[in-house]
Amino acid sequence: MADNWESIVASLKEQAQGMHEAREAVLVQCRKLGQLAAKSIRHVHRHQFEEAETLLEEAKVVAKAARDLLKPHPELNPAYLHDTEKEMVEAAAVLAIVLGRPYPTVGDLGAQVMSYLNGMGEAASEVRRFALDEMRRGNIGAATAILIQMETIYDDLITFDYADSMTGGLRRTCDALRAVIERTRSDLTATASQQELVRELQAAREMFSRGTGRG
């Protein structure tokens, strides 16, 4: 047996142990990141925007910590970071869409490119809920503005026509978003028609009341 085999094994065990410890630490950060992103989105739907922003800033710090843990171990596959990074991008984009702010960039969030693209697609689907709430409040203009952003994001995402193994399932994200957009457009059209009908009935009732009063 070669004289150096034991030293090779010892060195590789040390490296493997370091990779294992880094992976476990990253998984902890990923769980924390997912929780922060989900809470941020919940606060957006409650119109608690400051709280949502605070949680989002915490999420950015956690995401950076996870990436820093992986840096010394380029052999580790960061695929499991993809989903939680995607959730952070989703939270940041949801906040931007509903407040009419510029979208966060990849640089702002430090996310992987495909995590970012999928997160934007998930955000465009998520804001349907906010648009529906605006419709219920009678804010057709606000709901329309959200729908326009949903359509714009979709129209650009579908131009990234690459293999799913590279995009992390972006095609599926786009297919789901297209269905959400169609439902939202239908709901918006129906709500606008109902509001117009209500206005016409109110106008007719007022005209009738004035006519009856003169009689």
Examine domains 1-111 and 116-215 and report if their fold is the same. Answer: yes
Q: Look up residue 25 and give its two tokens.
A: 């630490």
Q: Is the pLDDT of residue 196 over 80?
A: no
- Asked if CATH classification 3.40.50.620 holds for the domain at 1-111, the reply, yes or no, is no
The pTM assigned to this predicted structure is: 0.87
- Tokens 């059209």 sit at which residue? 189
Q: Does residue 23 have a pLDDT over 70?
A: yes
Q: Determine phi and psi for 213, rounding to 5 degrees.
A: -65, -40
- Which residue type is seen at 159? T
Total length of the chain? 215
Predicted confidence at residue 22, as pLDDT, reads 94
Under 8 Å between Cβ of 185 and 129: no
Domain boundaries of the chain, sorted by first residue: 1-111, 116-215
Query: pLDDT at residue 149 above 60?
Result: yes
User: What does the pLDDT look like over 158-183, one tens digit per residue?
Assistant: 999 999 989 999 999 999 999 999 99
Q: Which CATH architecture has domain 116-215?
A: Up-down Bundle (1.20)
Confidence of residue 203 (pLDDT cuts 50, 70, 90): low
On average, the pLDDT of the chain sits at 91
Choose between 203 and 113: higher pLDDT: 113
